[in-house]
């Protein structure tokens, strides 16, 4: 029986004109082999739980496969604030769409597939190191419940690829409901292809925001949806301590999903000025800048959409960004602290907490996890995370006093056990720290993929106690905190 039976493919983007893409075949790598196959995700599409050569040959582009029509998308974008008209899929190809069991269609994108007309000075390849990082982080984000593109599988090869040193070419099979970026709209605007831009907007509405058709101004409504989804995504990043590193408009999905993992990083010590991208000399994309940059990017998109949407409507939608972001951020932070009711002094409690974390360079993830374990562990575990123990103790007393005021829907006091059990579902025990990714990469580069697979497995359930893997929840070593991740990938 064919292993493809029960898997449904289509390719709606390929039905658009050549203004949108170039049809181009993947250039196979030498001796391609599996590094990881995401079994859980595969089953959701009717794909086999274990992928052998047949699946590898099709997804790596070594064998023609009728449902696939590989194409490189054309887009542009603002990179570090400067408009670059020459972007597009320079090393990734959109192969087809595949249907999830719930009915949703997902793009299949093969990253590292070779040269395209948009490769510019690049070689069309992705190295193992960066492919492992994207695979692990997209799945870690999904495990945390943060909107993201997904990783179905990853392959390694014997094809040499030169970066700062000789490395090997790898392939990532990325899945996402769309690969349309802010930069797609910018491209059509700046090249004055306004009928193509309108068609793109119509398709985005048809495929992703059909509810917009029910209102008087569908395009304005579409933009408002993009603003809303972007605000929600950024709220998650800020609440969970995620820094993207390259928030260019060509790396912003119109569906508000974390997209194009490069030099990302989760906060270790709480530092609002954290810059995870070694090449970001100005700190344009520093952790605390992300909300501002997202709004800047949305304004760039608004400008590009000005032929379709009236100025007042664009401004009104942009005006909702901050409100939505702070509403979602506050909801997430309240869940992290187990404080669902609102009390007038809460703002001050939050502020002093962030001050405490900053001044004490406290580990962001561990702090919240320890707060979630006050039903089991002593408060000392929280205090020990801060250098200034007196300040930590004072804050904790205030926090615990505030917890006493917490009541459930029936107006009953919330017990410490029930508060903590819920908090553990909002505060991960395991996150993809840069040093953990690096240890997995070091082994993978020696041909041992066990660590990549173990981490991927662990990070699928970041909120659960996985006692046998306790060492992965440890605070990072000093070298792990100082890692410099460049854009080179």
Residue nearest to ligand AMP (CB): 122
* Residue 123 interacts with, from Mg ion, ligand AMP, none (CB under 5-8 Å by kind): ligand AMP
* Residue 176 interacts with, from Mg ion, ligand AMP, none (CB under 5-8 Å by kind): none
CB of residue 367 vs ligand AMP: minimum separation in angstroms? 32
* Residue 124 interacts with, from Mg ion, ligand AMP, none (CB under 5-8 Å by kind): ligand AMP
The interface region with ligand AMP, picked from 84-92, 137-145, 226-234, 409-417 by CB under 6 A, is 84-92
Active site residue 384: no
Alpha-carbon gap, residue 362 to 357, rounded angstroms? 5
Alpha-carbon gap, residue 466 to 429, rounded angstroms? 9
Q: Are 168 and 31 in contact (CB under 8 A)?
A: no
Of residues 191-250, which lie at the interface with ligand AMP (CB under 6 A)? 246
User: Of these, 156, 260, 280, 406, which contacts ligand AMP (CB under 6 A)?
Assistant: 260
Of residues 228-287, which lie at the interface with Mg ion (CB under 5 A)? 251, 260
* Residue 246 interacts with, from Mg ion, ligand AMP, none (CB under 5-8 Å by kind): ligand AMP
User: Of these, 26, 28, 61, 124, which contacts ligand AMP (CB under 6 A)?
Assistant: 124
* Residue 462 interacts with, from Mg ion, ligand AMP, none (CB under 5-8 Å by kind): none
Q: Are 354 and 336 in contact (CB under 8 A)?
A: no
User: Of these, 74, 91, 150, 429, which contacts ligand AMP (CB under 6 A)?
Assistant: 91
DSSP 249: G
CB of residue 333 vs ligand AMP: minimum separation in angstroms? 30
Q: Are 332 and 235 in contact (CB under 8 A)?
A: yes
What's the burial of 467, exposed, middle or buried (CB within 10 Å: 0-12/13-18/19+)?
Answer: exposed
124 is in an annotated binding site: yes
The per-type count for the chain, helices as H runs and strands as E runs, is 17, 13
User: Of these, 70, 262, 291, 476, which contacts ligand AMP (CB under 6 A)?
Assistant: 262
- Please state the separation of Cα 221 from the chain's center in Å: 24
Q: How many residues form the binding site for ligand AMP (CB under 6 A)?
A: 16
Considering the rule CB under 6 A, would residue 119 count as an interface residue with ligand AMP? Answer: yes
User: Of these, 251, 297, 372, 427, which contacts ligand AMP (CB under 6 A)?
Assistant: 251
CB nearer to ligand AMP: pick between 90 and 145: 90
Of residues 268-297, which lie at the interface with ligand AMP (CB under 6 A)? none
163 is in an annotated binding site: no
**Strand residues in 427-479 grouped as ranges (E):** none
31 is in an annotated binding site: no
Catalytic-role residue among 156, 250, 271, 280: 250
Phi-psi region of 112 (alpha: psi -120 to 50; beta: other; left: phi over 0): left
Considering the rule CB under 6 A, would residue 186 count as an interface residue with ligand AMP? Answer: no
Longest Cα separation, the chain: 68
90 is in an annotated binding site: yes
Considering the rule CB under 6 A, would residue 70 count as an interface residue with ligand AMP? Answer: no
Neighbours of 471 (CB within 10 A): 7
Residue nearest to Mg ion (CB): 260
Q: Are 140 and 432 in contact (CB under 8 A)?
A: yes
260 is in an annotated binding site: yes
**N-to-C CA span, the chain:** 39
DSSP 412: P
Residue 114: closest CA among 105, 123, 101: 123
**What are the CA-CA distances from residue 366 to residues 35, 279, 363, 461, 470 (Å)?**
30, 28, 6, 16, 13
What's the burial of 311, exposed, middle or buried (CB within 10 Å: 0-12/13-18/19+)?
Answer: exposed
481 is in an annotated binding site: no
* Residue 406 interacts with, from ligand AMP, Mg ion, none (CB under 5-8 Å by kind): none
Q: Are 300 and 230 in contact (CB under 8 A)?
A: no
- Provide the annotated binding site for ATP: 88, 90-91, 111, 123-124, 174, 181, 260
Binding-site residues sit at: 88, 90-91, 111, 123-124, 174, 181, 251, 260
- Residues forming contacts to ligand AMP in the complex (CB under 6 A) are 87-91, 118-119, 122-125, 246, 251, 260, 262, 487
List, by residue number, the catalytic residues.
Answer: 250
């Amino acid at each position: 029986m064919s292993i493809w039976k029960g898997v449904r493919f289509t390719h709606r983007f390929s039905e658009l004109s050549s203004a949108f893409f170039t049809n181009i075949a993947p250039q196979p790598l030498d001796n391609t082999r599996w590094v990881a196959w995401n079994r859980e995700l595969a089953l959701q599409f009717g794909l086999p739980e274990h992928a052998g050569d047949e699946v590898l040959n099709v997804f790596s582009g070594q064998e023609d496969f009728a449902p696939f029509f590989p194409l490189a998308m054309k887009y542009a974008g603002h990179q570090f604030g400067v408009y670059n008209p020459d972007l597009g899929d320079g090393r990734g190809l959109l192969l087809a769409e595949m249907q999830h069991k719930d009915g949703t269609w997902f793009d299949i994108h093969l990253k590292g597939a070779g040269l395209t007309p948009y490769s510019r000075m690049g070689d069309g390849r992705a190295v193992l190191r960066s492919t492992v990082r994207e695979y692990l982080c997209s799945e870690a984000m999904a495990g945390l419940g943060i909107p993201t593109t997904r990783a179905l599988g990853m392959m390694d090869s014997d094809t040499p690829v030169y970066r700062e040193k000789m490395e090997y070419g790898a392939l990532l099979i990325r899945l996402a409901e769309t690969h349309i970026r802010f930069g797609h709209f910018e491209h059509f605007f700046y090249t004055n292809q306004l009928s193509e831009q309108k068609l793109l907007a119509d398709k985005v509405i048809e495929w992703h925001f059909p509810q917009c058709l029910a209102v008087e101004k569908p395009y304005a409504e579409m933009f408002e949806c993009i603003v809303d989804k972007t605000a929600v995504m950024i709220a998650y990043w800020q609440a969970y301590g995620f820094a993207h590193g390259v928030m260019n408009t060509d790396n912003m999905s119109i569906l508000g999903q974390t997209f194009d993992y490069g030099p990302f990083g989760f906060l270790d010590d709480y530092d609002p000025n954290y810059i995870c991208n070694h090449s970001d000399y100005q700190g344009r994309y520093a952790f605390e800048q992300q909300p501002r940059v997202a709004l800047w990017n949305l304004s760039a998109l608004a400008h590009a959409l000005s032929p379709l949407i009236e100025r007042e409507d664009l401004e009104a939608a942009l005006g909702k960004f901050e409100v939505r972001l702070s509403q979602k951020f506050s909801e997430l932070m309240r869940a992290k602290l187990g404080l669902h009711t609102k009390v007038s002094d809460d703002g001050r409690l939050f502020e002093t907490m962030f001050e405490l974390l900053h001044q004490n360079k406290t580990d962001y993830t561990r702090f919240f996890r320890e707060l979630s374990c006050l039903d089991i562990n002593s408060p000392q575990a929280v205090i020990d995370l801060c250098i200034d123990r007196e300040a930590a103790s004072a804050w904790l007393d205030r926090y615990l006093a505030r917890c006493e005021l917490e009541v459930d829907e029936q107006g009953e006091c919330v017990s410490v056990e029930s508060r903590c059990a819920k908090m553990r579902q909002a505060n991960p025990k395991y996150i993809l720290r840069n040093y953990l990714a690096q240890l997995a990469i070091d082994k993978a580069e020696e041909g041992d993929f066990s660590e990549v697979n173990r981490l991927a497995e662990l990070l699928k359930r970041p909120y659960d106690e996985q006692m046998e893997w306790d060492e992965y929840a440890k605070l990072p070593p000093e070298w792990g905190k100082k890692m410099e991740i460049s854009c080179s990938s």
